[in-house]
Structure 1
Amino acid sequence: MGWIERVGRSLVPRGLLGRTLLIILVPLVVLQVIALYLFYGNHLDVISRRLAAGVAGDVAMVVELLARNPKPDDRGWIFREAAWRLDLSLAFETGASLGPSANRGASLPLLPLEEDLEAAINERVRLPFDADWQSDPRSVIIRVQLPDGVLHVEAPRKRLFSGTLYLFVIWVVGSSLLLFAAAALFMKNQVRAVRRLAEAAEAFGRGRDIGPMKPEGATETRQAAVAFNSMQGRIRRFVESRTEMLAGISHDLRTPLTRLRLGLAMLPDAAQEDAQAMTQDVEEMERLIAAYLSFARGEGIEQSQPTDLVELVGEVAAKARRDGARVDLTADTPDLVLPLRADALKRCLGNLLDNARRHAQRIAVAVARVPRGEAGAWAQVTVDDDGPGIPVESREEAFKPFASFSAGGTGLGLAIARDIARAHGGDIVLEESPLGGLRARIRLPV
């Protein structure tokens, strides 16, 4: 049963529109099959037998008239009347014989209409005969063996067919196609509203200011859009209030630090040597507070703009070189433009390069575009170094705030970097580097 389920899943569309249309299409097809089967098995079968019986009855009447009026003059009158009143073309071949092949049609594979005609002639005429369906596409030729020759009867095929069959098929198929097209158009509009809601949620999750979306579609979809707009507004108000609060905290914390720095600077020259260590502690506190506020604020104010990632990485690498790092940069594509918060991503890459510069002698940065299956592609930036690296079991721990605190760092660099990457819809992972140290891999959706 497992392979049946796999085949079934592969045949079922993955999208909501495709699945909904399949739910509509399958009952329509089943309904048409049942309707056509009932039409063929009952109505059409009855009509076909009655039409075949009518033609066979006319042939039997002609045969009976010829038997009762064997004179040549009477035969001509019968043929003329049959052509006018019965729409039958008659000819008589004197002394001819059908031979042993007559009446053997029943042993050959026949169509339902041919079977009905054969059965009707056997019942009404009761003489040896055969029927030719191949010579003329517009008529069927029936040859009946009479005592003194063979009677040739040419009957139009339209007398054996019912035109209601084609009208019925056209009506059933046409109305079904019309209903399916209307349902497809309606469902496309409904799915478009769901797709727009998903795109709005994805854009908001990546930090783009798209504003409130217009509710549309079914009642449930409108309710979801209204709920999304409310959630979006609450999150914005929360971020704004948190940013204002952090701005106040920044002012409140830096004011006493400034007084401490001023007090240390005003100490007598004799005490300056002792105050130097305290001044370094104050500077370290200011740097820690600035880093913490930057981490807590999270760059939520900046809006995404189309940015060339290769150019941005080149600027960050150039700054790292000015700071004394040895950085090699490679890119497999000349330009890679995608919506980014440029300042935030520069801080993310700058933190990674600063970490590598403090622990390694050589740094290699690479920019590439890599596929991610049906979802599109990733813009990938890798930062490799030849430092001591981080053990596998400690790599996830390194992303926690202050977990990687070391001399010259605040312990927030990797935490801020991952926060920025995830705000763009991507992520950062730490791996083994081909240079022998640590590799930081950033992936951003294109």
Structure 2
Amino acid sequence: MMAVLQRIFPRGLYWRAALILIVPIVTIQLVVSTAFIQRHYEGVTRQMTNGVAIDLGFLLSEIEAAGSPQAAMAEVGPLARNLEITLTIPAGEDAPMKDRFLFLDLSGRVIVDTLRERLPGLVAADVSDENRVVNLKFDTAVGPVQAQLTRRRMSATNPHQLLVLMIFTSLLMTGVAFLFLRNQLKPITRLAEAAEDFGKGRIVSYRPRGALEVRAAGRAFLDMRARIERQIEQRTLMLSGVSHDLRTPLTRLRLGLAMLPDDPEVEALREDVRQMERMVEEFLAFVRGDAMEGAVPTDAVALVRGIVERAGPKVVLAGIEGRAEPVSMRPQAVARAVENLVSNACRFGNRVELRLAFDDRSLRILVEDDGPGIPEAQREEALRPFTRLDASRDPNRGGGVGLGLSIASDIALSHGGALRLGHSARLGGLRADLMLAR
């Protein structure tokens, strides 16, 4: 039951607030309509109709005593005019033959029922006239008698007018309340959007507004964002200094080794220096993560095609799904992530295929190879930094330093997405699914 209700109820904050606002109003309208219109209006109509029934009963008794239609008209006519009742003796051709009232005329039913209870000689009553004239026909000793009078004497104002007024007022007040509610909910929506953009690596302008609690949450978010930005900036500055300090002695070593004669020992030292430089670059890329790069709308297809062209003949762009549109991203960071995935795939496979899938909420870049893949039990471990799953991945044997997948995963998370590893059904090796939020 709860699952069904969860599927039916709206998920958005605006629509949930609107539901909370509208349901009580509709419930109140139903209760008021039932209690006030059906009871109060019916009671008022019955009381007023009883008063008219007394006047009609008196006139009918005088008509019965007159003995003839002419005498009855002469004696009762002036009295009926004073009571604002039009008598026709004998009844005319427009006299009703049966009871008539509109289907939704609540007070009309009460009028007919009350007159029949109080006036046994009533033959028919017509309360359906658009000019609000009640047309009655009676059976008397002098023949059929027709009586006509305005309905205002028998019922209060039409209850439908009150219904229309209530509905109009409710709609108006609901609209006003919704506008006020939207102004209260808009700051929460803006805070959620700012937090979501920050999670995707985008810094947008945000100013706390709304109620005190919302302003407090907004200020806490700004303080948190400022602390994170300061930490990123301080880490980047520190790494810049470390990078300079490490690269200078490595450069001196490389130049010194270049001046030595070629022999196996010197070549081994040169390879060690190149390996150290590569490790330093990967360490810095992992810690830095291109955090200071701004997100811009980027042609993802062109970015991936450039990577494919630089990677060599083993790598192909196998397909593009969905409508290719510019995606807001940090292009250098995404390029580094895809290059890491392609580099790993080329190291262990002979064929690598890339695919792009665009949808409304995300961009997926799939990298598949025909290599040995990664066992399912080790895929989560493979995303951890400095993790090498086997000896073939040892940097001293041509492998990496265990940061390629970690860097790609970190970049995906900074774009509001994720990196998922799986089995390639097409090529039989590893499938890396790099998802970026749009």
Give the shorter-chain TM-score range.
0.7 to 0.9
Indicate yes or no: 2:347 matched with 1:347.
no
Q: Residues 121 and 59 of structure 1: is their aligned pair in 2 closer, same or farther, counting only changes over 3 Å?
A: farther
Cα separation, 2, equivalents of 1:314 and 1:299: 21
Q: Cα offset for 1:359? A: 1.4
In the TM superposition, 1:15-414 aligns within 5 A as 15-70=12-67, 74-78=71-75, 80-82=77-79, 84-93=81-90, 113-120=108-115, 122-123=117-118, 125=119, 127-133=120-126, 136-137=129-130, 138-163=132-157, 165-211=159-205, 213-265=206-258, 269=261, 273-321=264-312, 325-333=314-322, 335-370=324-359, 376-404=360-388, 405-406=393-394, 407-414=398-405
Cα separation, 1, equivalents of 2:250 and 2:191: 48
Q: Secondary structure at the match of 1:249?
A: helix
Could you tell me which amino acid in structure 2 is paired with residue 46 of structure 1? G
Q: Secondary structure at the match of 1:396?
A: helix
Cα separation, 1, equivalents of 2:323 and 2:247: 44
Cα separation, 1, equivalents of 2:30 and 2:436: 51
Q: Larger deviation: 283-292 or 250-259?
A: 250-259
Is the 2:294–2:330 contact (alpha carbons within 8 Å) kept by the matching residues of 1?
Answer: yes
Question: Unaligned regions of 5+ residues in structure 2, if any?
Answer: none
Q: Secondary structure at the match of 1:317?
A: helix
CA RMSD of aligned residues (A): 2.8
Is the 2:112–2:125 contact (alpha carbons within 8 Å) kept by the matching residues of 1?
Answer: no
Could you tell me which amino acid in structure 1 is paired with residue 191 of structure 2? L
Q: Secondary structure at the match of 1:357?
A: helix
Q: What does the per-residue CA deviation read over 1:14-43, in whole Å, with 9 as the maximum and x for residues that have no partner?
A: 122222222222222222222222223442
Could you tell me which amino acid in structure 2 is paired with residue 355 of structure 1? N
Cα separation, 1, equivalents of 2:257 and 2:242: 23
Is the 1:53–1:121 contact (alpha carbons within 8 Å) kept by the matching residues of 2?
Answer: no
In the TM superposition, 1:413-432 aligns within 5 A as 413-432=404-423
Q: Secondary structure at the match of 2:90?
A: strand
Cα separation, 2, equivalents of 1:350 and 1:72: 111
Q: Residues 157 and 116 of structure 1: is their aligned pair in 2 closer, same or farther, counting only changes over 3 Å?
A: closer
Q: Cα offset for 1:115? A: 4.6
Cα separation, 1, equivalents of 2:114 and 2:256: 122
Q: Cα offset for 1:214? A: 1.2
Is the 1:131–1:140 contact (alpha carbons within 8 Å) kept by the matching residues of 2?
Answer: no
Q: Cα offset for 1:111? A: 6.3
Q: Cα offset for 1:235? A: 0.6
Q: Residues 408 and 72 of structure 1: is their aligned pair in 2 closer, same or farther, counting only changes over 3 Å?
A: closer
Cα separation, 1, equivalents of 2:114 and 2:343: 97
- Percent of counterpart pairs with the same letter? 36
Q: Cα offset for 1:412? A: 1.1
TM-score where L is the length of structure 1: 0.86
Could you tell me which amino acid in structure 1 is paired with residue 194 of structure 2? A
Question: Unaligned regions of 5+ residues in structure 1, if any?
Answer: 371-375
Cα separation, 1, equivalents of 2:257 and 2:43: 113
Cα separation, 1, equivalents of 2:8 and 2:317: 48
TM-score where L is the length of structure 2: 0.87
Q: Secondary structure at the match of 1:198?
A: helix
